[in-house]
Structure 1
């Protein structure tokens, strides 16, 4: 993935302009995000945060929040949501939490 992203970002963008150049940039960024997701060690933190609340995945957590099943557990829910957001930011925008 890194090689394809580098090719798109370097060779393709250098040889194109306009919409094709923009799409090459978007594709390279998407590939880098997928690569970071695959290499991420944050999945364990997310799974643990969800499991601490008794959920297997984000969909179940979201359904429970909508249904009011976690009312009164604000601190626990916020801790879990922070872990989920940290993981997503680490993939989509590395270094964001240190800015």
Structure 2
């Protein structure tokens, strides 16, 4: 069941805005630093809620293509790591490199999109 408005993202964004616009403007030093950290954490959580399912689905699709079967995401990741370690997947394989780049980019887009700029 979906919760009525405000949504979780809207609530988190309201708290983030309050900290960023009201609290940070009226405090200094350690409290301001911790408010900035809280703003960054809330921003990351919001991006995770908005983009996480899409990023996970894309990662799973890439792993299915590389490994030839589906399964729980964490097990697919472990299997890929093992295949890279034992050499059954060549580290220079263009499909592997494309998958790793896309997965890393999606992770960075959620964690800190400023670092994902082209």
Q: Same fold (TM over 0.5)?
A: yes
**Residue in 2 aligned with 1:12?**
23
CA positional deviation for 1:93? 2.8
Q: 1:77 aligns with which of 96, 103, 106?
A: 96
RMSD of aligned residue pairs (Cα, Å) = 2.2
1:52 maps onto 2:71 in alignment: no
Tell me how many residue pairs correspond in the alignment. 99
Change (3 A) 1:66 1:12: farther
**Residue in 2 aligned with 1:42?**
55
Q: Which moved more, 1:1-10 or 1:44-53?
A: 44-53
Q: Which whole-Å CA distance do the structure 1 matches of 2:91 and 2:30 have between them?
A: 50
1:90 maps onto 2:91 in alignment: no
Please report the TM-score for the alignment, with normalisation by the length of structure 2. Answer: 0.69
1:2 maps onto 2:21 in alignment: no
CA positional deviation for 1:27? 1.0
Please report the TM-score for the alignment, with normalisation by the length of structure 1. Answer: 0.80
> Secondary structure at 1:27's aligned position in 2?
helix
CA positional deviation for 1:35? 0.7
- The C-alpha deviation readout for 1:19-41, integer Å capped at 9, x for no partner, is 11111111111111111111113
* CA radius of gyration, larger in: 2
